[in-house]
Amino acid sequence: MKKTLLITTVLAALTFTGCTDPMSSTTPRNVYQAPTEAKMAKFQPVMTQVALSTRSNPNYKKMAIRAEDKEWFKMLMYRYWDRQITRSQFISEGISRYPGHEYEFGFIANGFQQYS
């Protein structure tokens, strides 16, 4: 009887914790930490390695990043490298602005996993 009660209590507790939002509604979402100089110094060589690796891949189609998007793209890569966003978020944000480049964003994401 005690065992059944314990199992029921544990299952109920797990059910309630699974239904609650770990982020309160007052917590702002999509707030990212700006890079520090130290982190940017570590990020820069990795970003360079990833960029250079695209040249040797015949399937990679160079993206013509607009001048106004260069800082956005760099920060997108930084946020992914710094684990502020997931791989799927990185790819999703990238293709929302540059549709048709799923392969390229996936390749870049793999590069950061390889060189980081």
Per residue in 29-87, pLDDT (tens digit) is: 568 899 999 999 999 999 999 999 999 999 999 999 999 999 999 999 999 999 999 99
Terminal-to-terminal C-alpha distance of the chain: 53
Flag whether 12 is in a domain: no
- How many domains, the chain? 1
Flag whether 21 is in a domain: no
Flag whether 100 is in a domain: yes
Flag whether 19 is in a domain: no
Q: How far apart are CA 69 and CA 55, in angstroms?
A: 21
Flag whether 98 is in a domain: yes
Flag whether 88 is in a domain: yes
Lookup: tokens for 19? 């239904």
- pTM of this prediction exceeds 0.85: no
- Identify the pLDDT of residue 115: 84
Q: How far apart are CA 30 and CA 104, in angstroms?
A: 24
User: How far from chain centre, in Å, is Cα 64?
Assistant: 22
Flag whether 70 is in a domain: yes
Flag whether 63 is in a domain: yes
Residue 47: closest CA among 30, 70, 31, 64: 70
Per residue in 3-38, pLDDT (tens digit) is: 544 454 444 444 444 444 444 444 445 688 999 999
Range of the domain at 95: 35-115
Q: Helical H runs in 1-116?
A: 2-19, 37-55, 70-81, 87-97, 102-115
